[in-house]
Structure 1
Amino acid sequence: MHPHFSPAPPPSGEALQHHLAKALSETTHRSQRAFVVVNAVPFMTGIVLSCFTDVPAVSVHGQLTLGLVWGILQCGLFVASAWWYERQSTRSDDLFEESLAR
């Protein structure tokens, strides 16, 4: 004979809010880690390359050097990743607020 298990009751409002807060926290930490990694790797690469004075001084085109190109690309990457992080953060906060309003 199979034992009968009653279904678990639906989570209370407080338990649901706790679950949603935990999910928001995990999403936020994941976005923060991605932001740091995406920006730290090129930054550290730039620092290592700047230790060798010959590398950043390599001419790419006319007066444009490899160090200058690297700096411009790094700045563009930072702006793009900051925009992405802000968009992700706003989206996850909006979802959390909508779920609390229900």
Structure 2
Amino acid sequence: MHPQLIPSSPGHDAVQRQREEILRVATRRTQRVFVIVNAVPLAVSTLVFPFTDIPAVPLLGHLTLGLVWGILQCVLFVATTWWHETRSTRPCGPSAVEG
């Protein structure tokens, strides 16, 4: 039977609201982690690097600390974007929430 045609009971509505709240909390948590993990390194590089000689510190040949930091920041962004997309596109049916 189509879900819209099934008569809903008061208990069913409460369970549905609880599931929606669980999904809402999980989504907020995932978004918060994504922003924090990407914002902290960006803030550090934005606040520290322009005013110091730290980015010019040579590490290996022509590789400098600023270049390595930028590459690591890009890798971190790609990895967290992949993680966020994986978490956001998980099945969210009743069996996924309960189990």
Q: Taking structure 1 as the reference length, what is the TM-score of the superposition?
A: 0.77
Corresponding residue for residue 88 of structure 1: 87
Letter in 2 for 1:34: V
Unaligned runs of 5+ in 1: 1-9
Shift of 1:18: 0.8
Shift of 1:11: 6.2
Is the helix fraction higher in 1 or 2? 2
Aligned-partner SS, 2:86: helix
Conserved? CA contact 1:57–1:67, under 8 Å: yes
Runs of 4+ that moved beyond 4 A: none
Shift of 1:16: 1.3
Corresponding residue for residue 3 of structure 1: none
Alignment of 1:1-102 (within 5 A): 12-91=11-90, 94=91, 96=92, 98-99=93-94
Letter in 1 for 2:71: I
Aligned-partner SS, 2:54: coil
Aligned-partner SS, 1:60: strand
Unaligned runs of 5+ in 2: 1-8
Q: Taking structure 2 as the reference length, what is the TM-score of the superposition?
A: 0.79
Rg comparison, structure with higher value:
1
Structure 2 CA distance for aligned equivalents of residues 11 and 61 of structure 1? 67
TM-align CA RMSD: 1.8
Structure 2 CA distance for aligned equivalents of residues 59 and 52 of structure 1? 17
Aligned length: 87
